[in-house]
Amino acid sequence: MDPRVPDAHLHLFDLESASPGSIRKLAEEESSGRRRRRASACHDRAEFEATEAYRSEGLSFDLSFGIHPQHAVWDDAEFLANLARQGRIAAIGECGFEFFGDRPAWTRTAGNEKLQRAVFEFQIGVARERDLPVVIHQRKALDLVFAYTRDLKRLPAVVFHAWAAPPREAEALLARGIHAYFSFGTPILNGNKKAAASCAGLPDGAVLLETDAPWQPPRGERLCLPAHLDRVLASAATLRGVEPGALSELVELNYAAVFGPPR
């Protein structure tokens, strides 16, 4: 495992729940000198507090907190705002839009869109107030992302988690002045042609890599694990026509540009 390449998006709490002992294993790797930066997303108060406590086990990571569009409720809105004011998070997210349509709340109705817009606007407002980056989740809603160009371009960075749209869409976001980064994970291992084309062609300064562990496993696997990041790195390097070590260094710089120096 290349310890330099950062994991721009995973869920440590869900990973430990799905694969007990994962936190201890990662902490042991760090203690042996294989320390990599990683950004763990949380979406409710209990998950955040449990994840934050993993630092007491010797594990280092950056934390984000967001009201996920798959569960667009206001319960933790004030908690999110306080985390941002207290400097306890490095980013806000995942936030964004979910209209994949496989559940009633994820169907693009007028009511669902109004709610998701309101929750999203609240979060980018907090991000603007505290000068924080945001991590965006969007499915079947890229038009709404473009609709918020004016707001997004005022943020220090916007990370598009699990980007799987064509390169022309990513280039259009960059052309509008958004400080956008596009994070690639197991979709490029699993044959997603749009993700692969974007990973191959986007500018060096816009590329991040992730696992989304334990979600989105490589084909044939039960879970996605942090160790799968090496496979993502190798695939992304092949797509971009560079050596994995060179891409690792590039992604490390991009990660630091988004999340700042190690905490």
Take residue 221 and report the two structure tokens written for it: 């696997």
Which neighbouring-strand residues pair with 181? 159
End-to-end CA distance of the chain: 22
- Condensed to tens digits (0 to 9), the pLDDT of residues 55-72 reads 999 999 999 999 999 999
pLDDT at 258 over 80: yes
Q: What is the pLDDT of residue 148?
A: 98
Over residues 216-241, the pLDDT tens digits come to 999 999 999 999 999 999 999 999 99
- Each domain of the chain, given as residue ranges in start order, spans 7-259
pLDDT, the chain, mean: 96
- The CATH classification number of 7-259 equals 3.20.20.140
What amino acid occupies position 59? L
> 182: closest CA among 160, 165, 156?
160
pTM exceeds 0.85 for this model: yes
The beta strand positions in the chain, using DSSP E, are 7-10, 38-42, 62-65, 91-98, 134-139, 158-160, 180-184, 207-209
